[in-house]
Amino acid sequence: MISTEYRGYTVQYSENADLWNCPDCGIVDQPTLSKVKERINAMHLKLRKASAMPCFEIAGEVTYSGAKVRALEGTIIEYIGPKKARYGYPEETHSVAVVSQRPNRDAKSRQEVYLQNLAPDTPEVRAQIAAADALGQIAHEAAEAFRAAVRAIPRVQIEDIADLIKASGHTFQEGEE
């Protein structure tokens, strides 16, 4: 009996039967090693699809037209693993693969995303996104009102400094202060 390992499973070849088996997975009597690997891969894919989680990629956006939450709907399809600390991120962060329809793209795409940039797709999260967007609108309106109030503050006019203008053109005579 010949043994090898694939994705953490022991795969065995029976020379007498000329067949491949993976008793850990319940895969038996396969004619080739590649068929066993295909079946193991299919099992993993099925498990990943069953474990996929709907989510939002969350980011705050502040533009001239206001502040709002960019909440891109997606699906977490795979855990990639821990990542070392980087500037602006905690000591250790985790990375996952997310499939979503990204802006300016025709088809859905897969992208590696840090876990702390994701929120679960739940009614509570949807409500919080809406509440944050409402606050962003209030902040935008307050900023517009602030800018208008600053523009409304009376400014010094040229007539207000007429004496200063006259004085700046004055030439002093000897002994005059």
**Between residues 132 and 171, the one the model is more confident about:** 132
Residue 176: pLDDT band by 50, 70, 90 thresholds?
low
Predicted local confidence at residue 88, as pLDDT:
63
pLDDT of residue 65: 74
Residue 100's pLDDT is 92
For 150, list phi and psi in degrees, rounded to 5: -65, -40
Which percentage of the chain shows pLDDT scores above 90? Answer: 44
Contact 118, 96 (CB under 8 A): yes
Quickly state the pLDDT bin for 55 (edges 50, 70, 90). very high
Q: Could you tell me if 24 and 12 are in contact, meaning their C-beta atoms sit under 8 angstroms apart?
A: no
Distance CA 54, CA 98 (A): 9
124-141 average pLDDT score:
93
Kindly report, residue by residue over 61-99, the tens digit of the pLDDT: 877 777 888 899 999 999 998 887 666 665 778 899 999
Looking at the chain, the whole-number percentage of residues with pLDDT higher than 70 is 93
pLDDT at 145: 94
Note the pTM of the prediction, 2 decimals: 0.65
Averaged over 161-168, what is the pLDDT?
87
Q: Rounded to an integer, what distance in angstroms lies between the CA atom of residue 19 and that of residue 36?
A: 10
pLDDT band at 104 (very low <50, low <70, confident <90, very high): confident
Q: How confident is the model at residue 170 (pLDDT cuts 50, 70, 90)?
A: low
